[in-house]
């Protein structure tokens, strides 16, 4: 959310908006709606909805709710997975975000398991927080899924 306005000026395809507004009754929804007032998206940004399984160039999009209701990850055909905040890297291990930074921990765990089960294989993992994994990425995600 914080870097999107700057990135949008260089990107050809941006995804930023879900179909439903963020819930005010949830601590993260209230924060995100408040923050949007101070960090608005540019008026000329090209917003597009993306669906689970949709192909965007050589990427496949996967809907992975939990961290937030509309969270998406993108896996490139060449074996690179951009997992955003579905998982974090911590001391060389994959972990899920903590409850205070997620909308729904049950759905987040389900999303990790579903992605490990349904996605194509990948070596590289880029997370929203932490260092990337450069090999055996799918195996590392499966190990985390097995622990949940």
Give pairs for 102-107: CB < 8 Å, separation 24+: 102/28, 102/66, 102/67, 102/68, 103/26, 103/28, 103/29, 103/65, 103/66, 103/67, 103/68, 103/69, 104/65, 104/66, 104/69, 105/66, 106/66, 107/65, 107/66
Statement: residue 100 has pLDDT above 60: yes
pLDDT tens digits for range 34-86:
777 887 777 777 777 888 999 989 999 999 998 888 899 999 999 999 999 99
Residue 117, SS3 per DSSP: helix
Q: Are 58 and 76 in contact (CB under 8 A)?
A: yes
Q: What is the pLDDT of residue 38?
A: 82
Asked if residue 102 has pLDDT above 90, the reply is: no
- Can you say how many angstroms the Cα of residue 72 is from the centroid of all Cα atoms in its chain? 4
Topology given in CATH for the domain delimited by 51-148: Metallo-beta-lactamase; Chain A (3.60.15)
**Residue 130, pLDDT above cutoff 80:** yes
Which residue from 4, 135, 120 is spatially nearest to 55, judged by alpha carbons? 120
- Give the model's pLDDT for residue 4: 44
What are the beta bridge partners of residue 94?
89
Q: CA 128, CA 97: separation in Å to the nearest integer? A: 10
Continuous H helices in the chain: 4-8, 27-38, 105-118, 137-147
Name the residue ranges covered by the structural domains of the chain: 1-49, 51-148
- DSSP, collapsed to helix, strand or coil, labels residue 134 as coil
**Quick one: pLDDT at residue 78?**
97
């Amino acid at each position: 959310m914080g870097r999107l306005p700057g990135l949008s000026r260089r990107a050809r395809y941006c995804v930023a908006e879900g179909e439903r507004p963020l819930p005010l009754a949830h601590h993260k929804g209230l924060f995100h709606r408040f923050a949007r007032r101070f960090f608005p998206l540019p008026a000329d940004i090209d917003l597009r909805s993306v669906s689970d399984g949709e192909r965007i160039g050589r990427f496949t999009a996967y809907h992975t709710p939990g961290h937030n209701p509309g969270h998406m990850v993108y896996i490139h055909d060449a074996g690179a997975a951009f997992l955003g905040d579905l998982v974090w890297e911590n001391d060389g291990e994959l972990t899920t975000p903590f409850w205070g930074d997620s909308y729904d921990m049950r759905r987040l765990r389900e999303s990790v398991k579903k992605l490990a089960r349904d996605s194509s294989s990948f070596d590289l993992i880029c997370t929203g927080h932490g260092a990337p994994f450069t090999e055996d990425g799918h195996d590392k995600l499966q190990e985390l899924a097995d622990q949940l």
